[in-house]
Amino acid sequence: MIEEHATANWFSKPGDSIRAIMQRREIGAHDLAQCFRDGIETVRTLLDGSRRIDEETANTLSEALGASPKFWLKRQENFEAAVHRAVIQIQESGLEDVLLRLPAPGRKAGGRLSAERRIEEIRKRLVFYNVPNAESWTARYGRLVGETDYRTSKTFVAKEDATLLWLRRGELEADMVQTRVWNAGNLLDRLEAIRKLSMIRHPEAFLPKLRTLCAEAGVALVIVKAPEGCRASGAIRMVDPDKAMLLLSFRYKRDDQFWFTVFHEMGHLVLHKADTFVDDDAVPSDADREQEANEFAAECIIPPLRESEFERVPPKRDDILRFSVSIGIGAGLTVGQMQHRGMLGPDKLNYLKRTWDWAQINPVRV
């Protein structure tokens, strides 16, 4: 028996019930996807609330997860009624424009909206952010950039709306990843295995392994391409009390930058207990934690016990390859560290770094 707990100012997506059953029965997103014609995309949109449960979908859910088709159809009906009530309350409160200013997927800036379109856009934002009103959005996301650890280029100024969209999409993707309970010690125990993955050339070979190792420590590894204007390369955020998200954009598509970002974000998780943090030079109070995360990442790449040996590595191809193999990392990461420390010119031996394009990354992002 699945119980719903409804309040006057809240709504629960049918996807919440789907996710709860999946977790209880240890059914993965890809397992459920096999039951639908559109595969993983159907599961994704059911979980985020953007796909309506019709009769065919209700029958499939009943067969795959249990409960009757009637339950799933009623679940959808109750959800739509609750969202409609929330929209009416927002209209009556005079806060329509507040909601409409929030970033949402698929909405272009500018132009007048008809009354019908305004309702549609308000509904879209409530469902996308899973909040019933403007106050709830402010409490949960109003200071999102200031409450999230993320690496971003210092060369560009990130547009806040684009970053918010990227982070929220990451949260929705993290919903699809089953993990154990978050435990920093379990992540530390897996760092050596994670380091060795840097020696694997192709994302389709190392990403599934990286995702599994992270999930065993309670971390949902997700990959979302950054929208235009978002310059972030990685982020961490606690999406549930016992589940962390490690969000990657593959912004630089180069192995030295990618793995440094992975270890940097893991540093925040381990050292700072996933406390909120913004990688911004204008926030001096966070400079120490940023430096700590950088040092953690650097030590993941070059172990402290091998530091003196690393400092003596000649800036030559064969010497770099030998040293990289001896410490169990990809040669591109060694080159990146040598360049960062001034041991090698920024234009030297870059061919030892591996580069990828989004076509190689996208097929294995889930």
Output the pLDDT for position 207: 95
Report the residue count for the chain: 366
What are the residues whose beta carbons fall under 8 Å from the beta carbon of 223, sequence distance 6 or more? 173, 207, 247, 248, 249, 250, 361, 365
Least reliable range by pLDDT among 39-53, 91-105, 257-271, 279-293:
279-293
Output the pLDDT for position 326: 97
More confident residue, 7 or 128: 128
Mean pLDDT over residues 348-358, rounded?
94
Is residue 6 a contact partner of residue 80, using CB atoms and an 8 Å limit?
A: no
Least reliable range by pLDDT among 117-121, 318-322, 351-355:
117-121
Output the pLDDT for position 276: 44
Mean pLDDT over residues 203-210, rounded?
95
Whether 95 has a pLDDT exceeding 80, the answer reads yes
Mean pLDDT over residues 149-155, rounded?
58
Quick one: pLDDT band at residue 148, thresholds 50, 70, 90? Answer: low
| Cα Rg of the chain (Å, integer) | 23
Output the pLDDT for position 2: 37
Mean pLDDT over residues 271-288, rounded?
55
Q: Which residue has the tokens 């400092």?
A: 311
Least reliable range by pLDDT among 8-12, 19-23, 117-121:
8-12
As beta bridge partners, residue 234 has: 151, 248
Output the pLDDT for position 106: 74
Mean pLDDT over residues 296-309, rounded?
97
Computed from CA positions of residues 224, 57, 208, 363, in that sequence, does the dihedral angle turn out positive or negative?
A: negative
Whether 8 has a pLDDT exceeding 70, the answer reads no
Q: What domains, with CATH codes, occur in the chain?
A: 14-106+114-141 (1.10.260.40), 145-300+358-364 (no CATH)
CA distance 175 to 128: 13
pLDDT in tens, 208-230: 999 999 999 999 999 999 888 88
HSE, side-chain direction, 13 A CA sphere, residue 96: 14
Mean pLDDT over residues 99-120, rounded?
80
What is the average pLDDT score of the chain?
A: 87
Mean pLDDT over residues 183-203, rounded?
96
pLDDT in tens, 54-67: 999 999 999 999 99
Quick one: pLDDT band at residue 279, thresholds 50, 70, 90? Answer: very low
Output the pLDDT for position 151: 63
Output the pLDDT for position 6: 40
pTM (2 decimals)? 0.87
Whether 4 has a pLDDT exceeding 50, the answer reads no
More confident residue, 49 or 279: 49
